[in-house]
Amino acid sequence: MTDHAIRLLLADDHPVVRAGLRAVLETEPGLTVVAEAATAEDAVARAAQGDIDVVLMDLQFGKGMGGAEATAQITARPGAPRVLIVTTYDSDADTLPAIEAGATGYLLKDVPPEDLAFAVRTAFTGRTTLAPAVADRLMNRLRAPATNLTRRETEVLSLVAEGLSNQTIGQRLHLTEGTVKSHLARIYAKLGTDSRTAAVATATDLGLIRR
């Protein structure tokens, strides 16, 4: 596959998670962890140095840049390493932006060690590995497009779920209050609901927004 070990960058803001990933991956032949990053910004900078083959990227880093944005910046460069998302989140609000940003694979943190190692090797070759829950959800989106929310609708409803008003949502997303209301009307129609609370509950049950 390669004449050198596959060189890995672990990007996660939790030291215990990074230590766990390192412990698992460094027991695997042909894999070596060469760097760690505790912020998405550091991950982008480190990945640009040219000695990384695969980045294992979390999605949430607290303050600052998120994993999806970091993935987009990393994969935009020529000769970029592959990015494999390893996270606890599997809602459409998380998976779709990450995949659109250029992630080669998407795993959940409860993945068995042997599956993680396989996914790293698969990502290195440019092929995709998806957690079963994520793959199922993507297939369901293709089978039932009528209930799919656009990325903007997902953003709006996620903020509704946080308890924000239409005015505040508009300020956060740089939209007019009327545009927010229009998005909500389309969301209600797609989900067959007639209130903010019902829309949030239904979207959560369907895995469209984070639980």
> Tens of pLDDT along the chain (211 residues)?
456 799 999 999 999 999 999 999 999 999 999 999 999 999 999 999 999 999 999 999 988 899 999 999 999 999 999 999 999 988 888 888 899 899 999 999 999 999 999 999 999 999 999 998 888 878 777 766 667 888 899 999 999 999 999 999 999 999 999 999 999 999 999 888 999 999 999 988 888 888 6
Q: Quick check: 157 and 209 in contact, CB under 8 A?
A: yes
Of 64, 22, 21, nearest to 40 (Cα)?
64
Q: Which domains, and CATH codes, for the chain? A: 6-142 (3.40.50.2300), 149-206 (1.10.10.10)
**Residue 1: what pLDDT?**
47
**Residue 93: what pLDDT?**
81
Q: What is the pTM of this model?
A: 0.73
**Residue 86: what pLDDT?**
96
**Residue 211: what pLDDT?**
66
Q: For residues 33 and 122, what is the distance between their CA atoms, to the nearest angstrom?
A: 16
Of 136, 66, 117, nearest to 94 (Cα)?
66
**Residue 2: what pLDDT?**
52
Q: Quick check: 154 and 96 in contact, CB under 8 A?
A: yes
Q: For residues 6 and 186, what is the distance between their CA atoms, to the nearest angstrom?
A: 46
Q: What angle do CA 131, 140, 107 make, to 5 degrees?
A: 10
Alpha helices by DSSP H, listed for 62-209, are 67-75, 92-100, 113-124, 132-143, 151-161, 166-173, 177-191, 196-205
